[in-house]
Amino acid sequence: MKEVFVEIKETNVSPRLPLEGRLDLTYRCNDNCRHCWLWLPAEAEEKGEELSFEEIKGIVDQARKMGCRRWSISGGEPMLRPDFLEIFDYITIRSNSYSINTNGTLITPEIAGLMKRKGTKMVALYGATAQVHDHITRNPGSFEATLRGFSYLKEASASFMVQLIPMRDNYYQFKEMIKLAESLSLHWRIGAAWLYLSAYGDPEVNKEIRRQRLEPEEVVKLDEPDLSYQEQMEEAGSNCCPSGGDGRIFASCISIRRDFHIDPYGRMTFCSFVKDPGLRYDLRKGSFKEAWEEFIPSLADKVKATKEYQKSCGSCELREDCRFCPVYGYLEHRRFSAKVEYLCAAAKENRNFKENWLKKHRRYYRIADITLRIDSDLAIAEETFHPKFKLFAVNAPGEDMVSIRHHFFLPDLKERDLGEQVYRKPPWAVYKKGNSWIYLGISPVPQDPSLHRVVVFNHNHTRARIYNDKEDAFLKGNAHSLTLFPTDQILLARILADRQGCYLHSCGVNFKGKGLLFAGRSEAGKSTMARILKDKARILCDDRIIIRMHPDGFRIYGTWSHGDVPEVSADCVPLKAILFLNKSARNYIERIEDKKLMVKKLLACLVRPFVTVDWWEKSLQILENTSQEVPGYELYFDKSGGVADLLEKLL
């Protein structure tokens, strides 16, 4: 299952956001397990010095007072602790949500029962067969034990995610691993497409890790970059990818983080990969408050970029495409400044992937001075969208941009918190969750629970993830909307209100450099007017026109939402008059002096998406301003074409 966004999180971080904590319960491995990335040597002094249950409770309580509402629990294998059940119960009952990583071998019916609580449960799978799985874990019977853990979770009705761990010794059967994962759960993910080295620097363990690493091109194939998300993070300045431009390589990372990490011995820092003892705070000798408010912020100035770093990773042209972080340099070479050659090769593959994506999976279109950036999991071909969109196509982003990403699978929304339902009328049910709007494409049959589409918008509808149930319509081509909705007005009419604009049921023309808007509902004669004027004016669209207010007055814009006349234009023109259509036996025009009447008539032509109070207030103000600044007329016309002479005299 590819990553599913059921809420688009805004990336500008506020101090009021709740903290998220990660707790490593233990690095100890099962006595029979000899193959593990995070492990504690048998002779290590730290063995047996893990935090006690009472100490963990104290830390959890302190963090909760500081606003921590979500915990991630991992290890090693966290269930190796004899008191895991008590720890898990204490943490999860005091959290809004949690996540846990486990190999599943130690799950019992009692543990599975507690794991029904809302949270993300990730269970690792190392092979599609016992032979491969047990070979990698070096623990005979671990495959059978993991499957038993899955069955306990299913019996308890505890949803879980299968986490696939690709490496050299299982990659040849990775497709079979995916099939097995899909048979076990509705959710699966790739746990780590590349393997970082041991935290303890054991040379034999690291030698094996290097042997198990996949080729860089295989890594990128398994973990394709999500350009839409990466660009969102970069635009918001929330990309945790330190450049060290000011000499402090962790400063940007620390400034944006709202999470923290605590190791099995009570040492706290800002990142789970930071293993340098000098960058960890001993909670046994201080308080969580001091660690969060004083110690972690102080680390921003502690690690400086060296000449080695500046000459290599700090100035590399592939920096934005690299998965490198100084913590990986430390794990690989015990130096934050050291580059990882393996990641250098992966960065080149990343760059190639992105360049290919931009050519084949991204297009730009501009309407009413708004640029729509369309990204798609499937390649966008010349015939994917109707030829009319070529008139609106542009080659680059604009100042005002709306980002749309198409996926071609439906997320499983079982046990997902969609927030508050604010609208329900087929074909849409709309939910509000935090800063996100969630649209569900529902059946007109009340008893039919199936969905045909799931859409997640951010708070102002400028970013969207659209999950389509099928690929057929996209692959067939000639799509009449960029959103693949029945009409793009569902989105455009929504966002225009924030831009002093609106969509009107109307025909618009450029009549000798002056904009005329012919307003009316269905069958009013909009297409007829377009046919009458096509030899004397440039048709913008015969059925839907966008109007926007500018400092120099109102303008009208052509759209691709045409009626019977397929001629459309991406042009705009100053609006000089609005004429309300009336079919008649003769041609004549009457001025509308009553501004309230004009607003009422414009309201009847207003294209309305899902309506909220703020949208309605903004749209009403736009129509009131229009009635004050643009003259309105009742236009009575026949089909003789004589109305064209009247319009020339009017202008």
Secondary structure string (H, E, C) spanning 177-219: HHHHHHHHCCEEEECCCCCCCCCCCCHHHHHHHHHHCCCHHHH
Residue 466: strand, helix, or coil: strand
Q: Report the mean per-residue pLDDT for the chain.
A: 90
- 435-470: pLDDT as tens digits: 999 999 999 998 999 999 999 999 999 999 999 999
Q: pLDDT (tens digit, 9 = 90+) per residue, 219-237?
A: 999 988 887 766 766 565 5
Rounded average pLDDT over 358-381: 97
Mean pLDDT, to the nearest integer, of 641-645?
88
- Least confident segment among 42-46, 243-247, 389-393: 42-46
Q: What is the mean pLDDT of residues 251-262?
A: 88
- Identify whether the C-beta of residue 103 lies closer than 8 Å to the C-beta of residue 134: no
Going by C-alpha positions, the residue among 277, 270, 271, 274 that lies closest to residue 296 is 270
- For residue 257, what pLDDT is reported? 79
The predicted pLDDT at position 641 comes to 87
Query: Tokens at residue 156, please?
Result: 């308890």
Least confident of 91-100, 555-564, 593-602, 642-651: 642-651
What are the structural domain ranges in the chain? Answer: 363-490, 491-650
The residue with tokens 């760059």 is 351
User: How far is 467 from 452, CA to CA, in rounded Å?
Assistant: 9
Per CATH, is 491-650 categorized as 3.40.640.10? no
pLDDT of residue 227: 78
| pLDDT at 16 (0 to 100) | 46
Residue 531 has pLDDT above 80, yes or no: yes
Handedness of CA 153, 155, 158, 162 (dihedral sign): positive
3-state secondary structure of 424: strand
Q: What angle do CA 267, 270, 275 make, to 5 degrees?
A: 55
* pLDDT for position 527: 94
Min mean pLDDT across 24-33, 376-385, 517-526 is at: 24-33
Is the pLDDT reported for residue 30 higher than 70?
no
pLDDT band per the 50, 70, 90 thresholds, residue 34: very low
d(C-alpha 568, C-alpha 570), whole Å: 7
Residue 582 pLDDT = 94
Query: Range with the lowest mean pLDDT among 319-323, 488-492, 494-498, 542-546?
Result: 319-323
Partners of 243 in the β-ladder: none
288: which 2 tokens? Answer: 């969580």
CB atoms within 10 A of CB 23: 26
**Mean pLDDT computed over 591-596:** 96
Beta bridge partners of 463: 403
Q: Which residues contact 600 (CB under 8 A, 6 or more apart)?
A: none
Give 478's pLDDT tier (boundaries 50, 70, 90). very high
The pLDDT of residue 627 is 96
pLDDT in the model for residue 186: 85
**51: pLDDT confidence band, cut at 50, 70 and 90?**
very high
Residue 44 has pLDDT above 70, yes or no: no
What would the DSSP string read from start to end of 6-71?
A: SS----S--TTSPEEEEEE------TT----SS---TT-TTTT-SPPHHHHHHHHHHHHHTTEEEE
**Distance in angstroms (rounded) separating the CA atoms of residues 250 and 303:** 7
pLDDT at 517: 97
Contact predicate 436/459, CB 8 Å: yes
**Which whole number is the average pLDDT over 184-211?**
89
Two structure tokens written together for 344: 């250098």
The answer on pLDDT for 32 being more than 50 is: no
- pLDDT band at residue 75, thresholds of 50, 70 and 90? confident
The stretch 273-294 carries a mean pLDDT of 93
Determine what percent of the chain is predicted with pLDDT higher than 90. 72
Residue percentage of the chain with pLDDT more than 70: 91
Whether the CB-CB separation of 73 and 98 falls below 8 Å is answered with yes
pLDDT in tens, 321-344: 888 889 999 999 999 999 999 999
What's the pLDDT at 412? 82
Longest CA pairwise span in the chain (Å): 102
Please give the model's pTM, rounded to 2 decimal places. 0.82
Rounded average pLDDT over 339-359: 93
What is the Rg, in whole angstroms, of the alpha carbon atoms belonging to the chain? 30
Cis peptide before 76 (omega within 30 of 0): yes
Q: Which residues does residue 577 pair with via DSSP β-bridges, in sequence order?
A: 516
pLDDT value at residue 474: 94
Question: Which residues, in sequence order, are CB contacts of 285 under 8 Å at separation 6+?
Answer: none
407-432: pLDDT as tens digits: 999 988 877 889 999 999 999 999 99
Tokens in use for 61? 């309580």
In this prediction, residue 241 carries a pLDDT of 55
Question: H or E element: which one contains 133?
Answer: helix 130-137
Is the pLDDT assigned to residue 11 strictly greater than 70? no
The more confident residue out of 609 and 14 is: 609
